[in-house]
Chains A and B, each alone.
Chain A
Amino acid sequence: MKIALLGNPGAGKSLIFNQLTGLGIEVNRYPGSSVCLECGNVCYKKEKIEIVDLPGIYSLDGSSEEEILVRKFLEQGGADVIVAVLDATKLERNLYLFTQVTEFSPKLIAVVNMIDEAERQGLIIDVGELSSLLGVPVLLTAASEGREIDRILPLALGSARVATLRVPYDHHIEAALNSLEKTLRAPRYKSLLALQGTGDDRILLDAAGAVAHEIELRHRMSVRQIIATNRHNLSRKIAAAAVRQGDRKKTFDLDSLLTRVIPGVPILITILFFLLLSVFVIGSWMQELIVQTFTTYIILPFTALELPPLAERIGFSVLIALEAGLGIAFPFILTFYIGLSLLEDTGYMTRAAFLADRAMHRLGLHGEAIIPMVIGFGCTVPAVMSLRILKTRREQTIAAFLISMVPCSARTVVIAGIVAAFVGIFWAFSIYVIVFILIILTAVILSRITPGEQFGMIVEMSALRRPQARLVLAKSWLRIKEFLFIAMPLLIITSIGLGLLQYYGVTDAFEELLAPVTVTLLGLPEYASTALLFGIFRKELAFETLAVLSGTADLGSVMTAGQLYTFAIVSVLFIPCISTIAVLYRQLGARIAILISVYTVFLGLTIGAIINLLIT
């Protein structure tokens, strides 16, 4: 038995899902898509029930990855029962999606969630009326209080049925649907999609396209508009009959502060600054703890085993990779994710996107791009994964370049460990300034040369609400799992590869080969090239390798301040780490991944050479 939760973003699906399944969640990547499906199992009356949380969507006939996924899921009858989750405070708008779901004729129940918030707003919902209009059982719930959540499963299993609701379309649309059914035997939902140009049946699309053209000539309106208007009109009628507006309590509107330039922008900057600061403080403390424990209890006992050299080398490489992954994943990325999930769950991120829209336009992007950029300060890998929210390839490409340059937490470790410690805190900040200037320059150039059109921002402001600790943790945990899943195997493989190269003396040859670049161009010691190479698989490893190769942790005694500064800026700019390259490849293809790698190497070497020239 399989049950799927379906609804608008922010209707409270995730909270319901979490309360139904507890913590036994697994994330499945849907075949052929990068969208994640969360699944969980529960036992009800000795029967195993699988629950799927479908991604939040506004419509079933769009072309975003999420919409396509849910559409396919419904077409293939992916679940025995669909639980349509509706936001009680925005019932009319949420019913729009519901009208589309009914066209796929699945067995349904409707869960009207956030009834507590609706009550505060004085909205009274007539369950009997709504249920008879929709033709499916309706349940009023308040997931944040856990109210009535335990009745969802019995209702879904016992009384779910195919909705009797049917959208009355404009008579020309109905005529088109009839004709397509007669000539091509196309089901209603497929014809509706084909009339809007969606589908993969060429013959149906051609026929529907010709008919759509006829309709558009008569209405002076696109078929999409006609269909959407018909659905909205039905939703309005249902909402008008089932919802009554009672007395409304006056509450203070926080948005009068948050969405104005003053004080909105200062608030935004303060929030982001404290997010990064707390990640850095908590992260460094936890990292030290993890790395020390790992070294004392695992690496030292391992080296004490005195295995044969090759085995020792390989084992050591694996352990170093594990240490690297854990040392960066939990302290920095998990902390960052918790902060980010908090911001998302309060609904603040949509305000941030609105305020950032102007600044982002200058970079050839729009407001929503602030989310990947902020994530990029934590870790580039999830930042690249979140590029999905940008709608055009052009924006994804520009943002990918910029994200790869944003100093992630690992690069912050390099800047702090080398420059702040041995050169001075002022110089550490100067690196940030240089990087930001380069990011802006890159963006200005890219926004001119990248082909494609800009797509503006259309974001629904999520309601401001208090985040739930449990949900924030669950979300962060799912994200960190995804990071480990991508990064860990790569770290281990690269580490073994590099270890073997070192074992067979290839790195020495490599250092010699690159000596003209390292020594002449950048003015660094020869072994710095190996340190930079190690930086490819974890940025702050550049710093640690440098310490190992120079034979002392007191880098100030073996290299000049100028050399340390040059090394730091090169390793910060120079090529993204291997996990980033992998995820760039997966998200945007080989061409962009290679372009970004080449560009950043070029940038790192050029800036390094310029600084070397300035110093000497």
Chain B
Amino acid sequence: MQPSLREDYLEAIQQFSEKNGHSPHFAELAVILGKPESVVRSDMEDLVSSGDASIFPGGVITLTGQGKQTGESVIKKHETLQCFLSEILGMDTIAASDEACTLEHTVSDETIDRLGQLIVKRDGPRQHHWNGKGKEKGAAPCAVEDYDCECPSISDCAEGENVIIHCIHGRACAKRLLDLGMVPGERASIKRKLSNGALVVQVKGCDVALSPEIASAIGVERSS
């Protein structure tokens, strides 16, 4: 079963129970989700085997502790997301009317679209590899970030050059670099470069030594 489908079910069951004070039947659930009862029945079997729900005689569905927890979490997640989207929608509309800028309208349209999806289809965002889950699995700490760019890396620059930092690939490595002030837009100068590509970079008045592989993850623009 798809994680997002599982979340949809758990959310629907939990929401029904909170609203009506009792657990839903197959038929009720099928109406809420807008699916044929036969599909709901077969999906519920998956949820029972994954330990999220149990089915009582008469087709009454109750959530287990685990299922209830996930359901509550999904509800909270969607509430927050809805709240967030409405807030930025407000901000964006103000910005748009102030500047009468069509670009802002498209941003707003996108937001309205997302908000609409969320409310109407009750379709939460797909599970993306966020929440630091990659780290738990021992995934590569220097994995290249989704938002790639094609600027030269700081390791292509020579000793004595001045640069403006453009982007940093890789999340885990990026953290310490960000803390040391290597954020996009920051000016830096290369104080020392060894033949293997190790660098001493001066940023915010501090000298920072970098390994070649770290340096190659920092995208820059050359400046005078």
Contact = CB atoms under 8 A, between A and B. Distances in A.
B76 A182 contact: no
A202 interface: yes
A399 B125 CA distance: 42
Nearest to A452: B138
A433 interface: no
A209 interface: yes
Interface in A344-368: 350, 353-355, 357-358, 361, 366-367
Contacts, number: 201
A228 B179 contact: yes
A198 B184 CA distance: 22
Contacts of B178: 59, 224-225, 228-229
A358 B208 CA distance: 16
A459 B208 contact: yes
Given A218-B107, A457-B209, A460-B206, A261 B214 contact: no
Interface in A179-231: 179-180, 182-184, 197-198, 202-203, 205-214, 216, 218, 220-222, 224-225, 228-229
B129 to A, nearest CB: 10
Contact of A460 (B69, B85, B208): B208
B29 to A, nearest CB: 23
B145 A458 contact: no
A180 B196 contact: no
A171 B180 contact: no
Best-surrounded residue of B76, B107, B204, B214 (most CB of chain A within 10 A): B204
Interface string A317-336: 00000000000000000000
A602 interface: no
B193 to A, nearest CB: 10
Contact of A203 (B72, B81, B125, B176): B72
A210 B211 contact: no
A213 B77 contact: no
Interface string B100-135: 000000010000001000000000110010111001
Contacts of B196: 357-358, 361
Contacts of A59: 175-176, 178-179
Given A93-B204, A210-B124, A460 B180 contact: yes
A93 B183 CA distance: 12
Interface residues of A, number: 69
B125 A224 contact: no
Nearest to A358: B196
B185 interface: yes
A358 B179 contact: no
A96 B213 contact: no
A240 to B, nearest CB: 12
A455 interface: yes
A82 to B, nearest CB: 19
B211 A457 contact: yes
Nearest to B198: A357
Contacts of A353: 209
Contact of A212 (B88, B130, B191, B212): B130
Contact of A171 (B91, B141, B168, B172): B91
B83 interface: yes
Contacts of B176: 58-59, 62, 458
Contacts of B87: 175, 178-179
Interface in A149-180: 171-172, 175-176, 178-180
A92 B204 contact: yes
Nearest to A93: B204
A210 B126 CA distance: 9
Most chain A C-beta atoms within 10 Å of own C-beta, residue among B147, B181, B214:
B181
B144 interface: no
A176 B131 CA distance: 15
B205 interface: yes
Most chain A beta-carbon contacts within 10 A, residue among B79, B146, B179: B179
Contact of A358 (B194, B200, B207, B213): B194
B68 interface: no
Contacts of A260: 192
Contacts of B172: 455
B208 A461 contact: yes
B222 interface: no
Interface in B64-87: 69, 72-74, 76-81, 83-85, 87
A458 B72 contact: no
A366 B179 contact: no
Interface in A439-459: 451-459
A266 to B, nearest CB: 15
Interface in A90-149: 90, 92-93, 96
A392 interface: yes
A216 B147 CA distance: 9
A242 B179 CA distance: 21
Contacts of B210: 456-458
A329 to B, nearest CB: 33
Nearest to A459: B209
Given A58-B176, A452-B138, A366 B80 contact: no
A232 interface: yes
Given A90-B205, A92-B205, A456-B213, A225 B168 contact: yes
Given A184-B76, A210-B80, A220-B147, A225 B174 contact: yes
9 contacts: A178-B87, A179-B81, A206-B74, A210-B80, A232-B204, A353-B209, A355-B194, A357-B194, A361-B212
Given A261-B194, A361-B211, 19 more contacts: A59-B176, A63-B135, A92-B181, A96-B181, A171-B91, A203-B72, A203-B73, A203-B76, A206-B77, A209-B130, A210-B81, A210-B125, A214-B85, A225-B178, A229-B178, A358-B198, A451-B138, A458-B208, A460-B207
Give the 10 A-B CB pairs with smallest separation, nearest first: A456-B211, A456-B214, A197-B132, A228-B178, A461-B207, A179-B83, A175-B87, A59-B179, A207-B80, A354-B209
Interface of B: 69, 72-74, 76-81, 83-85, 87-88, 91, 107, 114, 124-125, 128, 130-132, 135, 138, 140-142, 145-147, 168, 171-181, 183-186, 191-192, 194-196, 198, 200, 204-214
